[in-house]
Amino acid sequence: MPINSFEDYPMSWRPKFNKDAKPLYTALANMLEEDIKNKKLLPGTKLPPQRELADFLDINLSTVSRAFKICESKGLISGSVGSGTYVSYTSISGPHILPHYEDEKIIELGTVYPKPETDGEIVKLLHTMTTENDFGRYLHYGNEYGELWHRHAGAAFIGKTGFEPNPENVLFSNGSQNAICAILSGIFKSGDKIGADPLVFHGLRAAAKLFGIQLIPITQKNGEMSRDGIINACKTENISGLYVIPDHQNPTTHTMSSKCRKMIAEYSKKYGLTIIEDSILSLMSRPPLSSIASLAPENTVVIASFSKIIASGLRFAYMAVPKKFKNDIANSLYTLNISVSPLMLEIASRLIVSGAADAIIERHRLFTIKRNQITNRIMRGYQCIGTSESLFRWLILPNNLDPDFFERKALLEGVQVYSSTRFAIGNAKPINAVRLAISAPKDDDELEKGLKIIKNILDKY
């Protein structure tokens, strides 16, 4: 029997639990997951202490602990020593973030796309390749390690992000999301914890949930990971690694200082942390700052992909991996893909060695500068964070404007934007903000129209 009477006792969650269900911890975990997904428990809700919940349900404490552990591994709840367990913001959005509406009149400011005019150069290359006598070989399985010149091309591409890897340590993947999945499944295990910014790339959230890895928000200072935050996460959460986007962080647009990069490299060595350095947008900076990998090469896996700066449909990325991780990540890539597309590998490599990739990126950079000038003009008077080289902007909303409400309101007005809750991890309510993908509209006129709609909504509040 319960020790306490709970008739007048405040509890945020009072599940009607059937103790005949077996096993008990699974049934309780399923009930908690259902109540979160049905929004009976909202993000940020503090759950009852495990001992009190066990007493309320008249079950063993270990049963509650195992149930919470299952939900924690799914990203539904998060807890930390001394503060309790909360419903996580990771729980409220699914894995999909690409456009799914049917109305063609919607102005896309949600999903980040590269400059569309670069497609012609890739089409021209592909046309040339189809006239070659041996083109058919690109339509079959390929060597997972490619040819030597492919790896040299990859090393050259990664080198433009501020780190020059050994070509022997270059691996290929079907885009950055595929690379993240290979890293998480290859060198981490279910139940591991990885530190990340409180607002993080949506694809990482989805991949971590898939592989049962918990993302731990690292306390920030000046918009980037703090020394104390990393130390605390190592000591209290026992994190195994860190995920960072050092340049033009998604979604906040922040570029990490040299001081922070050096600090992360230092503590990765001190605590044995594996760094996942997603350099997807580092090539937009001229010149990029030193990569974390250049400071801690034996602890850092670098990802450099084509989707945001060359072509979104060219699903290809290079990875520079420490020698100690090469076999594990290569095996994971094989399990996920068998092999990357030989056609994509060939296109990417030829674009690099011919200099076409550099030309495309530079045109894209100049295009982005122009898009930011338009954004600065229209959004003057509002806090719309980002530099001239940002593919997206981080719009801070007034305190009375909920970001999810603003996203829905904008869509009703004909513009897709993404709320800060789509990127949040942990249990703290994210800042009232939305991401504006200014590179996505098909032309400047459409961008202006979309931004004016956003500004008109803001002006009403």
- Angstrom distance (rounded) from CA 254 to CA 215: 20
Q: Which residues contact 387 (CB under 8 A, 6 or more apart)?
A: 248, 253, 255, 372
Both 396 and 343 in one domain: the answer is: no
Task: Measure the CA–CA gap between 422 and 194, rounded to whole angstroms.
Answer: 18
Element (H, E) at 170: strand 170-173
The answer to whether residues 302 and 441 belong to one domain is no
In a shared domain, residues 395 and 326 = no
Rounded Cα–Cα distance for residues 461 and 451 (Å): 16
Instruction: Assess whether 290 and 194 both reside in one domain.
Output: yes
Q: Are 163 and 294 in contact (CB under 8 A)?
A: yes
For residue 128, is it within any domain?
Answer: no
Is 127 contained in some domain? no
On whether residue 1 sits in a domain, the answer given is no
Same domain, 80 and 221: no
Q: Is residue 125 part of a domain?
A: no
> What is residue 287's predicted lDDT score, i.e. its pLDDT?
80
Give Cα separations from 33 to 75, 76, 125 (angstroms). Answer: 10, 7, 49
Answer whether residue 192 is part of any domain.
Answer: yes
Q: What is the pLDDT of residue 220?
A: 96
Q: For residues 417 and 393, give the distance between their C-alpha atoms in angstroms, rounded to a whole number.
A: 11
- pLDDT confidence of residue 288: 80
Burial zone of 363 (CB within 10 Å; 0-12 exposed, 13-18 middle, 19+ buried): middle
Q: Distance (Å, rounded) from C-alpha 38 to C-alpha 34?
A: 6
Residue 308, pLDDT score:
86
Cα–Cα distance, 264 to 271 (Å, whole number): 10
Instruction: Please give the residue range of the domain that contains residue 406.
Output: 107-117+358-459
pLDDT of residue 116: 62
Peptide bond preceding 342 in cis form (omega within 30 of 0): no
- Residues 150 and 343 sit within 8 Å (Cβ to Cβ): no
Asked if the structure places residue 13 within a domain, the reply is no
pLDDT at 96: 54
| Predicted local confidence at residue 1, as pLDDT | 47
Query: Per the omega criterion (within 30 degrees of 0), is the bond before 251 cis?
Result: yes
- DSSP label at residue 78: E
Does one domain contain both 221 and 77? Answer: no
- What are the distances in angstroms from CA 423 to CA 37, 70, 291, 342, 398? 17, 22, 24, 33, 19
In this prediction, the residues of the chain whose per-residue pLDDT falls under 50 are 1
pTM exceeds 0.75, yes or no: yes
Residues 215, 289, single domain; the answer is yes
Residues 291 and 390 in one domain: no
How far, in Å, are 22, 44, 54, 89, 452 from residue 41 at the CA level?
24, 9, 18, 11, 36
CATH number, domain at 411? 3.90.1150.10
Which of 337, 355, 373 terminates a domain? The answer is 355
294 falls within a domain: yes
Write down which residue in 92, 125, 146 finishes a domain.
92
**pLDDT tens digits for range 131-146:** 999 888 888 888 778 8
CA distances from 367 to 20, 61, 112, 125, 245 (A): 63, 59, 14, 22, 22
Shared domain check, 398 and 341 = no
What is the CATH number for 56? 1.10.10.10
* DSSP string of 280-323, one letter each residue: TTGGGSSSPPPPHHHH-TTTEEEEEESTTTT-TT---EEEE--H
Tell me, yes or no, whether 198 and 310 share the same domain.
yes
**Tally of domains within the chain:** 3
Same domain? For 146 and 274 the reply is yes
178 in a structural domain: yes
Residue finishing a domain among 295, 323, 355? 355
Q: Which CATH number covers residue 257?
A: 3.40.640.10
Q: Are residues 286 and 154 in the same domain?
A: yes
